Amino acid sequence: MVRLKSRYLLMEIRFEDGLVDQSLSSSTVYHDILRSVENTYGDYGFGCIKMSFKVKYVNPFTGVVFVKCSRDYYRMLWHAVTFLKEVNGRQCSMNTLHLAGTINSCQRFLVKHNKKQLRKMLAQCKTPAEKGKISKMLKQLPSAKSMEDEKKKRQGDLALKHLTG
């Protein structure tokens, strides 16, 4: 049995005007990316990507997008995303944050990344109300230690699984 290997790309949409678009849905992102692929790689690229391409998750507030693609053609997708200029009819650019083999590891990266961003925002805060809000959010996120533990546990599980077959 052959497994279909895939890659997950964690991407971020940044609109030109710096605002968020609440009407952003996964289907609009899907169609815009596909159109960009067709533009850069033609019918052939479209055919290659279409088979396995999926938009797994879109967060309209942070502009974060999870995209699944087959392992053979993810480079094509990556290149095409660079040439993407418009999503939902608005000027934007797309930025690839992370490439991973599983959606889980993508998510872990996203947590880390968000934490970094929140810390940055914390430093830029001007009013105490904003500060309180962000520090509350930071507390809700899993701490560095718990993430480390989880990682160790996962590795232990994997090792055990390997040993026991």
Cα-to-chain-centroid distance, residue 10: 2
- What string of DSSP letters covers 42-74? HHHHHHHHHTT-EEEEEETTTTEEEEEEETTTH
Measured distance CA(9)–CA(15) in Å, rounded: 19
List the one residue from 2, 18, 43, 140 that touches another protein (CB under 8 A).
43
List the x/- string, 112-131, binding to another protein by CB under 8 A: --------------------
Binding to another protein in span 47-66, by CB under 8 A: 47-48
3-state secondary structure (DSSP) of residue 94: strand
Work out whether 40 is an interface residue with another protein (CB under 8 A): yes
Q: Please identify, among the stretches 13-21, 34-42, 95-103, 134-142, the one whose residues bind another protein according to the rule CB under 8 A.
A: 34-42
Amino acid at 58: V
List the one residue from 5, 17, 44, 71 that touches another protein (CB under 8 A).
44
Contact 28, 67 (CB under 8 A): no
Work out whether 5 is an interface residue with another protein (CB under 8 A): no
Work out whether 12 is an interface residue with another protein (CB under 8 A): no
Work out whether 83 is an interface residue with another protein (CB under 8 A): yes
Of 37 and 87, CB closest to another protein: 37
Measured distance CA(45)–CA(38) in Å, rounded: 6
Q: Which spans of this chain sit near another protein (rule: CB under 8 A)?
A: 38-45, 47-48, 72, 79, 83
